[in-house]
Structure 1
Amino acid sequence: MIGDGPSVIVPLDNRILYFGRDRERFRFLSHFHSSPIVIDGEAWPTVEHYYQAQKSANPQYKAAIRAAVHPGLAKRLAAPPTSPRRVSQSSWFRKHGEQPRADWHEVKLDIMRRADYAKFVQNGGLGILLLATGNAELVEDCPSEPFWGIGPDGTGLNWAGRVLMEVRDGLRVGPSSTPS
């Protein structure tokens, strides 16, 4: 228990695998979790919606992502048009003959940091829950995602979990140390 905050039972291995193993108790860590955020005066239903919307400055694209009824649909709409057909068949980019921003791979981590920070500050109860995870390692144990998760062999980069731990550390020391 952290201060007067909620009690969060961290698994004995001090790792929270929030995509699979520990999903029920820690689904609030997911970018798909319903937690509205406002960034630059724009409201988004989830971190995933905001993140995917940043792939293009086209207002029609952003409106389509914002209107997606589920974060999974937002992700499918944002698929690069060059992805395999099974991935890009719903792509807004494919349908409109456009490409995602050229610098996407250089900026995506900072975009996610900003979105996660907004989520846990603007939804105070979630910030308290994040802090209550203590020093547990946060792991997106997604077998199909080697960048944001740990991938099929467990050696992925786990950037989703790493960003969450950065945000948690920033919340501990105060708002001046984290993205706004």
Structure 2
Amino acid sequence: MSEIIRFYSVTDDYGEFSNFAEYPVTLKKVRWPTSEHYFQSQKFKDKKDQQEIRKANSPMLAARMGRDRKRKLRRDWESAKVNVMREAVFAKFTQHEELRELLLSTGDAKIVEHTENDDYWGDGGDGRGKNMLGRVLMDVRQALRDDA
């Protein structure tokens, strides 16, 4: 696995891998404007908080609302967040055929969310971050291959 695919902004190559990319997903019988909207909303048990975030007019606003600590974070969020992300990413790449093909076209390349802004979901900008979003994308890619 020598090739590395780095993405961050929706306008970059592979920008479709960003949770801010405008691909709606349907999860739990509800349509979400982006995987970011879904992910951020799931931080909260309160349905009112979830709906407000779903209605946010941009993924950036949804992210900001998800970070608002005036809202009551669900107790198990730290242990649940990776599975919630996997759920969102899996939905996105199975509900949009062109995204499925794009992800599968990456072969065995390492996928990295390259950003200084995040050392948990991203690589921290210097490669020392956990790159959890990249890992989830690679897991979903493998699941799509196994299904094929």
TM-score with structure 1 setting the length: 0.77
Alignment of 1:65 with 2:53, yes or no, is yes
| 1:42 Cα deviation from its structure 2 partner | 0.8
| 1:58 Cα deviation from its structure 2 partner | 1.2
Could you tell me how far apart the structure 2 residues matched to 1:135 and 1:30 are?
19
- Identity between Structure 1 and Structure 2 (%): 38
Q: Counterparts in 2 of 1:94-173, with a 5 A limit?
A: 94=70, 98-173=71-146
Decide which structure has the larger Cα Rg and report it.
1
| 1:80 Cα deviation from its structure 2 partner | 4.3
| 1:23 Cα deviation from its structure 2 partner | 5.4
**Paired residue total:** 147
Matched residue type, 1:25:
D
Deviations 1:131-175 (A, max 9, x none): 001111100011110100011432000000000000000000108
Could you tell me how far apart the structure 1 residues matched to 2:5 and 2:11 are?
9
Partner of 1:7: none
| 1:44 Cα deviation from its structure 2 partner | 0.4
Q: Which runs of 5+ in 2 are unaligned?
A: none
Matched residue type, 1:163:
V
Partner of 1:17: 6
Could you tell me how far apart the structure 2 residues matched to 1:123 and 1:152 are?
29
Could you tell me how far apart the structure 1 residues matched to 2:73 and 2:135 are?
25
Partner of 2:41: 53
TM-score with structure 2 setting the length: 0.93
Matched residue type, 1:76:
R
Q: Which runs of 5+ in 1 are unaligned?
A: 1-12, 82-93, 176-180
Matched residue type, 2:112:
V
